[in-house]
A and B are shown apart, each in its own frame.
Chain A
Amino acid sequence: EADIYQTPRYLVIGTGKKITLECSQTMGHDKMYWYQQDPGMELHLIHYSYGVNSTEKGDLSSESTVSRIRTEHFPLTLESARPSHTSQYLCASSIGDGYTFGSGTRLTVV
């Protein structure tokens, strides 16, 4: 039973399109994160938030942007998708120790 939800699960989209990946959690966690992971490769932190109206860039440079208007919602937006954005995007939230991950969005840009 997931407490953190990501939609869509899979997305195939054309180059140049604007897309928003949704992430919502029902646990009231203040901290939320976006990771990018290519198949068989490590997780890279691209954005994080410690609470409403707080967003920071992560270790990996990304052309995406995020917003945190509500505690439970942390969407990630790509203004103009490119094939290099093809990857899996994982959202996570935490309170104290430990992360809970969503099931991820597998994005393919053609």
Chain B
Amino acid sequence: RKEVEQDPGPFNVPEGATVAFNCTYSNSASQSFFWYRQDCRKEPKLLMSVYSSGNEDGRFTAQLNRASQYISLLIRDSKLSDSATYLCVVKDNDMRFGAGTRLTVKP
């Protein structure tokens, strides 16, 4: 079993749609959680950290359920510029990256 598992995708949605990505992790001792964004042929960049109480940054909302070892990312009112691969990342001693979920937002 992989340490971090994500929806395989790809997700193809129209502009303005709401899309949700899910992620599960296997190490219950994991301490920190993140969503990274990776554009095609670019390096991953931090999108947002994920806190137990849930957190929101504009159109992006991240949720963490430690009991279920589950993380989610919700994107509302999706834009063309949101097209990218979204990586779920879990930190124990080091960062563990999911395989990523590819999102394409179409006009």
**Contact flags (1/0) for A20-43 with B, using CB distance below 8 Å?**
000000000000010000011111
Q: Does B14 belong to the interface (CB within 8 Å)?
A: no
With an 8 Å Cβ cutoff, the count of chain B residues facing the other chain is 18
State whether the Cβ of B17 lies closer than 8 Å to any Cβ in chain A: no
Let me know if A97 and B91 touch, CB within 8 A: yes
Chain B 16-43 interface 0/1 with A at a Cβ cutoff of 8 Å (1 = within): 0000000000000000101000000111
A43 contacts B44, C-beta separation under 8 Å: yes
Interface bits A48-77 vs B (CB < 8 Å: 1, else 0) = 100000000000000000000000000000
Q: How would residues 75 to 110 of chain A score, 1 for a CB under 8 Å from any chain B CB and 0 otherwise?
A: 000000000000010100010011101111010000
Report chain A residues within 8 Å CB of B98. 42
Assess A94 versus B99: contact at CB under 8 Å? Given A101-B44, A104-B43: no
A45 part of interface (Cβ distance < 8 Å): yes
Give the interface of B toward A (CB within 8 A): 32, 34, 41-46, 49, 87, 91, 94-95, 97-100, 102
24 inter-chain pairs at a CB distance below 8 angstroms, sorted by A residue, are A33-B94, A42-B97, A42-B98, A42-B99, A42-B100, A43-B87, A43-B97, A48-B94, A88-B41, A90-B44, A97-B32, A97-B34, A98-B34, A98-B46, A99-B44, A99-B46, A101-B43, A101-B44, A101-B45, A102-B43, A103-B43, A104-B42, A104-B43, A106-B41
